[in-house]
Amino acid sequence: MKYHSIFDVIGHVMVGPSSSHTAGACRIAYVARILFGRTPRKVTISLHGSFDETYIGHGTDTAILAGLLGIPPDDERIPVSRALAAKEGIDYEFRTVDLGADYHPNTVVLDMLDGKDKLVIVGESIGGGNI
């Protein structure tokens, strides 16, 4: 394997337990929030494949909520993001979705709403905290 930088060796700084299911999921939601321009007031979080099968045990749920709140993957508040989302008044729902075999098993669809604005983001966590 050829490495391009030292960061390919040491990986991302993150809160675990999983680089793909926690850090990657948080990064997807964090970037989605940046693209949306603010914290959404309502979000439907549709989990595909492995994300759906293990999201509570691997912290995918709290990681996604943290990212939507603008909390980065290396922030120690990730495990308490459900409480933070409730405090912010975010209405969220986790759902199962089968997107088919063409999608990576660690895929999430974020359907974000705030008043009249809506944005749908499809993100894949491809391992090592990368998206």
The pLDDT of residue 44 is: 98
**Whether the Cβ atoms of residue 19 and residue 12 lie closer than 8 Å to each other:** yes
Cβ–Cβ contacts within 10 Å for residue 60, how many?
Answer: 30
- Segment-wise mean pLDDT, segments of 10 residues, the chain, 131 residues: 54 51 84 95 92 72 95 90 96 95 92 94 81 78
The pLDDT of residue 50 is: 75
The pLDDT of residue 17 is: 47
The pLDDT of residue 67 is: 96
- In whole angstroms, what is the distance from residue 102 CA to residue 44 CA? 22
Residue 103 phi/psi, 5° resolution? -100, 150
Fold assignment, 16-124: 60s Ribosomal Protein L30; Chain: A; (3.30.1330)
The pLDDT of residue 37 is: 95
The pLDDT of residue 43 is: 98
pTM, entire model: 0.83
